[in-house]
């Protein structure tokens, strides 16, 4: 689960990347004295080595530390720096070997035996062993570090037990069978013990691997490694010479020598720089820019790809945090926010089809739950999709003890005028437009709303740390199509239970039921049963509206025609998921 500052789009099918594990002598000779690396060979058409790829990033990464990252930009960057044991192929959406060459599951579904590739090295040349795997999972499981992925490792309230079972073998013991199976391993990057252990012992791990870190302090097993960071301008990654994949011709991947991220907050500016050729690849295009770029695409050597509905969902939510440090003003307003009828009234007053039409020019889909039509396997088709109705909104408010003064302003039961502010990311004009439309929609039922555009980093700080906001419009992009990937949002003690963070126990009966259902589906190997359980979660969310779901935009990407092996997908990262295989057709 990631916070997305921008819009994401998905693309349909793509030649399945079949990965097989073969020892490859030719390339392995580069490394002397080490056991030969058991390479993974991809089946993608072979490309040409060399060149650099320049990509636009809408925000600066906040950190390179996989243990603490929560924002979109950091996630994209870190995705190219690290690798996991078993990886979900973003195109086929199925798990495939990565740092692990093979695995097996015990008959009772509670024990995974994972075999590590032999001869692996981090990007600084240091060997990657079972001890690094054990160390990494120790970090993810450490309660004090608050890793966002930690929830995924807690099954049936018990953390997964990670044990060494041989020089290249690790055993993961689960207290119960795990529904999504080995998909679990996808979001857990293997981290270098030799660089992080001393910091961890000193309790400074949260401050490690910031954007101010020196390149030598960082190492991963991803296709690229950190080279240079220029605050406010760019981030340069260079090819990791120790990467563990080869192409059909046994050439070591990645093909590209450098991967450059330019920080361009404004999408129009990014679009212009893409048009002028300064940027090679631009995802998160606005429908307007997509249309204007498409006009002369062929003449400029650009390809514009529309991938249909994404996994991103935009929503409005209220601050329901139960926190003693909140201002008196916010706690006073929480009396309204915590009323289900109030939230349902707001939900029935908002004009979703209007947002699709006016903001996205039809290139988005209205949603009533967190599963977008892009995720066909898990969407609850029976979820009610009530249309906009100010009458219903008024009825709900009236029944909940609200009234209106003679100017039509909404008053609560203590005769205080109902008004609140909505914060949103100023870098995202679509979401600010949604806020403007919500403002007008709520004016129709007598609620006065003011808008506060904030820089995205400052916005996240308010939502996650200080809780100093009243309502917010945000977007989340599901990291996986499997619902378990979002459990840190739905579980009441989840690290991203965004409307009410850091709960020890559920605050409401329906949150308790969601906790129960999410835990149940997590240990249910049968898809049909899991589907039924998650459908119920979707229904509870739709009925109680902790998040008021609005729209899901389509995946729109622009790329230079000369970039080989490029295909956008629905899962994040929509564009750089196969960055190790991208190449320039001509130099």
Q: Looking at beta carbons only, is 429 or 457 nearer to another protein?
A: 429
Min. distance of Cβ 551 from another protein in angstroms? 14
Would you list the DSSP string of 221-290?
A: SSSEEEEEEETTTEEEEEE-TT--EE-TT-PBSP--SEEEEEE---HHHHHHHHHTTS-SEE-S--HHHH
Q: Point out which span in 70-78, 231-239, 425-433, 528-536 binds another protein (CB under 8 A).
A: 425-433
CB of 439 to another protein, least distance (A): 6
* CB-nearer residue toward another protein: 202 or 357: 357
The one segment of 99-107, 265-273, 493-501, 509-517 that binds another protein by CB under 8 A: 265-273
In whole angstroms, give the CA distance from residue 282 to residue 262: 11
When binding is defined by CB under 8 A, the residue of 146, 202, 357, 529 that contacts another protein is 357
Does the footprint of another protein cover residue 429 (CB under 8 A)? yes
Binding residues for another protein restricted to 277-336, rule: CB under 8 A: 286, 288-289, 291-292
Distance between CA atoms of 566 and 558, rounded to whole angstroms? 11
- Which one-letter DSSP state was computed for residue 296? T
Shortest spacing between CB 440 and another protein, in angstroms: 5
Contacts for 181 with CB less than 8 Å, ≥ 6 apart: 95, 105, 525
Contact in structure between 187 and 571 (CB atoms under 8 Å): no
What's the CA dihedral at 365, 370, 372, 375 to 10 degrees?
A: 180
- Determine if residue 136 is left, alpha or beta; phi over 0 gives left, psi from -120 to 50 gives alpha, anything else beta: alpha
Integer Cα distance of 127 and 488 in angstroms = 33
Cβ pair 104, 112 in contact under 8 A: yes
Is the Cβ of residue 266 or residue 389 nearer to another protein in the bound state? 266
Report the alpha-carbon distance of residue 495 to residue 486 in Å, rounded: 11
272 is a contact residue toward another protein (CB under 8 A): yes
Considering only the stretches 63-71, 81-89, 216-224, 435-443, report the one whose residues sit in contact with another protein under the rule CB under 8 A: 435-443
Least distance in angstroms from the C-beta of 113 to another protein = 53
Selected from 358, 383, 411, 464, the binder of another protein by CB under 8 A is 358
Pairing of strands 40-41, 245-246: parallel
Question: Number of residues in contact with another protein, rule: CB under 8 A?
Answer: 31
The CA distances from residue 290 to 275, 286, 418, 431, in Å, are 11, 6, 39, 17
**For residues 433 and 493, which CB has a smaller minimum distance to another protein in the complex?**
433
Smallest gap from residue 300 Cβ to another protein (A): 16
Round to whole Å and give the CA distance between 3 and 475: 6
Q: Provide, rounded to whole angstroms, the least separation between the CB of residue 356 and another protein.
A: 9
Least distance in Å: CB of 436 to another protein? 5
Residue 205 or 359 with smaller CB distance to another protein: 359
- Could you list the residues that contact another protein (CB under 8 A)? 266, 268, 271-272, 286, 288-289, 291-292, 351, 354, 357-359, 361-362, 421, 426, 429, 433, 435-437, 439-440, 443, 450-454
């Amino acid at each position: 689960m990631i916070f997305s500052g921008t819009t994401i789009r998905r693309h349909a099918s793509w030649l399945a990347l079949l990965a097989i594990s073969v020892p490859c002598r030719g390339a392995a000779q580069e490394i002397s004295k080490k056991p030969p690396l058991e390479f993974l060979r991809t089946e993608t058409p072979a490309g040409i080595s060399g060149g650099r790829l320049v990509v636009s990033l809408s925000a600066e990464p906040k950190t390179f530390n996989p243990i603490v990252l929560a924002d979109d930009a950091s996630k994209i960057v870190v995705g190219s720096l690290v690798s996991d044991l078993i990886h979900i192929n973003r195109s086929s959406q199925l798990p495939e070997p990565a740092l692990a060459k093979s695995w097996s599951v015990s008959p009772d579904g509670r024990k995974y035996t994972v075999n590590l590739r032999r001869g692996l090295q981090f990007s600084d040349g240091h060997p990657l062993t079972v001890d690094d795997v054990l160390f990494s999972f120790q970090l993810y499981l450490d309660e004090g570090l608050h890793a966002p992925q930690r929830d995924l490792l807690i099954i049936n309230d018990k953390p997964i037990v990670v044990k060494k079972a041989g020089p290249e073998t690790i055993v993961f013991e689960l207290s119960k069978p795990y529904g999504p199976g080995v998909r679990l391993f996808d979001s857990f990057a293997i981290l270098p013990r030799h660089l992080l252990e001393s910091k961890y012992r000193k309790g400074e791990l949260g401050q490690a691997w910031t954007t101010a870190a020196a390149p030598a302090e960082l190492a991963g097993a991803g296709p690229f490694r950190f080279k240079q960071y220029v605050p406010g301008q760019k981030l340069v990654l260079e090819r990791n010479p120790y990467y563990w994949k080869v192409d059909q011709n046994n050439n070591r991947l990645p093909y590209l020598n450098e991967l450059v991220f330019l920080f361009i907050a404004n999408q129009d500016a990014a679009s212009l720089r893409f048009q002028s050729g300064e940027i090679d690849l631009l995802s998160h295009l606005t429908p307007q820019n997509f249309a204007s770029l498409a006009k002369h695409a062929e003449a400029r050597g650009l390809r514009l790809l529309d991938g249909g509905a994404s996994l991103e969902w935009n929503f409005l939510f209220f601050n329901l945090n139960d926190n003693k440090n909140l201002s008196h003003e916010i706690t006073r307003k929480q009396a309204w926010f915590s009323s289900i009828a109030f939230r349902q009234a707001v939900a029935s007053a908002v004009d979703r089809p209007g947002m699709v039409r006016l903001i996205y020019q039809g290139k988005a889909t209205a949603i009533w739950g967190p599963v977008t039509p892009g995720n066909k396997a898990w969407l609850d088709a029976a979820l009610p999709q009530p249309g906009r109705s100010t009458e219903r909104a008024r009825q709900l408010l009236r029944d909940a003890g609200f009234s209106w003064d003679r100017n039509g302003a909404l008053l609560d039961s203590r005769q205080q005028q109902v008004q609140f502010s909505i914060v949103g990311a100023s870098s995202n004009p679509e979401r600010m437009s949604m806020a403007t439309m919500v403002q007008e929609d709520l004016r129709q039922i007598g609620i006065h709303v003011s808008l506060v555009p904030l820089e995205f980093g400052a916005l996240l700080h308010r939502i996650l740390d200080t809780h100093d906001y009243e309502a917010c419009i945000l977007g989340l992009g599901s990291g996986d199509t499997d619902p378990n990937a979002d459990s840190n949002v739905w579980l009441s003690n989840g690290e991203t239970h965004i409307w009410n963070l850091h709960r020890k126990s559920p605050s409401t009966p329906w949150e308790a039921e969601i906790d129960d259902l999410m835990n149940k589906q997590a240990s249910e190997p049968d898809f049909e049963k899991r589907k039924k359980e998650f459908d119920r979660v979707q229904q509870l969310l739709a009925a109680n509206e902790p998040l008021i779901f609005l729209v899901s935009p389509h995946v729109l990407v622009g790329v230079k025609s000369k970039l080989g092996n490029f295909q956008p997908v629905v899962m994040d990262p929509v564009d750089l998921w196969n960055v190790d295989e991208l190449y320039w057709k001509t130099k």
